[in-house]
Amino acid sequence: GNSVTQMEGPVTLSEEAFLTINCTYTATGYPSLFWYVQYPGEGLQLLLKATKADDKGSNKGFEATYRKETTSFHLEKGSVQVSDSAVYFCALSRSGYALNFGKGTSLLVTP
Amino acid sequence: DSGVTQTPKHLITATGQRVTLRCSPRSGDLSVYWYQQSLDQGLQFLIQYYNGEERAKGNILERFSAQQFPDLHSELNLSSLELGDSALYFCASSRSGGDVKNIQYFGAGTRLSVL
């Protein structure tokens, strides 16, 4: 079936450090891939998406590239801020109906 | 603000009881999705409605049911509640359904505590 695996957290970084959160997926065909972010006490917000191989999604300094050959969609940011502290979810949509989510990676950025 | 409204924000009830969670989608969105977020299971898709009709079903228990009304708001009914049903329940909405490029917009969730 369709599934998403992302790195376990929590991840703790100092402000201005480089961030990578790994995400790999298993799916037939050509899913769309998403990163959602959940700030404390809030719902999920779409951070970025990619709908076909080699697409790069980007938003607020975050980037992720859809790599079909490695079935990956790793999230990166060059310089994190304290305000980036949140839980990050990788997700795929194969059918256009359900989103299949990874377990989430908690990020804490310290000043 | 995503434009998706969920009520109530918090719900505390006892085992064996029944509760109803409500969701109003973004203006113009025809699809509504329900997800359950728990510590052990993570985020799991429960069910989707499109323009009043059930479109897709996930890991939804038989004790749970949902519907989407003509004004497109949706309700998730949870009955014979058990301790393990304690979780955060999210509603999401999208313009359409069945398109892999579909973006789902999430509400802030309803936190259910079963005591």
Max Cα distance, chain B (Å):
40
Predicted local distance difference test score (pLDDT) of residue B77: 98
- Per-residue pLDDT of A29-60, as tens digits, reads 889 999 999 998 888 999 999 999 999 999 99
Whether A35 and chain B come into contact, CB under 8 Å, resolves to no
Cβ within 8 Å, pair B100-A49: no
Chain B residues whose beta carbon lies within 8 Å of the beta carbon of residue A93: 100, 102
* Band of residue B30 on the pLDDT scale cut at 50, 70, 90: very high
Distance (Å, whole) CA A42 – CA B32: 18
Cβ within 8 Å, pair A94-B106: no
Nearest to A43 among B58, B98, B108 (CB): B108
Distance (Å, whole) CA A97 – CA A2: 12
| Angle value at C-alpha B104, between B13 and A7, nearest 5 degrees | 80
Chain A residues whose beta carbon lies within 8 Å of the beta carbon of residue B92: 44, 99
Chain A residues whose beta carbon lies within 8 Å of the beta carbon of residue B57: none
Distance (Å, whole) CA A48 – CA A43: 16
Cβ within 8 Å, pair A97-B104: no
Whether A42 and chain B come into contact, CB under 8 Å, resolves to yes
Distance (Å, whole) CA B7 – CA A95: 28
- Per-residue pLDDT of A20-37, as tens digits, reads 999 999 998 889 999 999
Q: Enter the DSSP assignment of B52.
A: T
Whether A30 and chain B come into contact, CB under 8 Å, resolves to yes
- Per-residue pLDDT of A77-94, as tens digits, reads 999 999 999 999 999 987
Whole-number Cα distances in Å, B49 to A30, A82, B9, B14, B69: 23, 38, 22, 28, 10
Nearest to A43 among B48, B98, B109 (CB): B109
Distance (Å, whole) CA A70 – CA A101: 18
Cβ pairs bridging A and B (under 8 Å)? 68
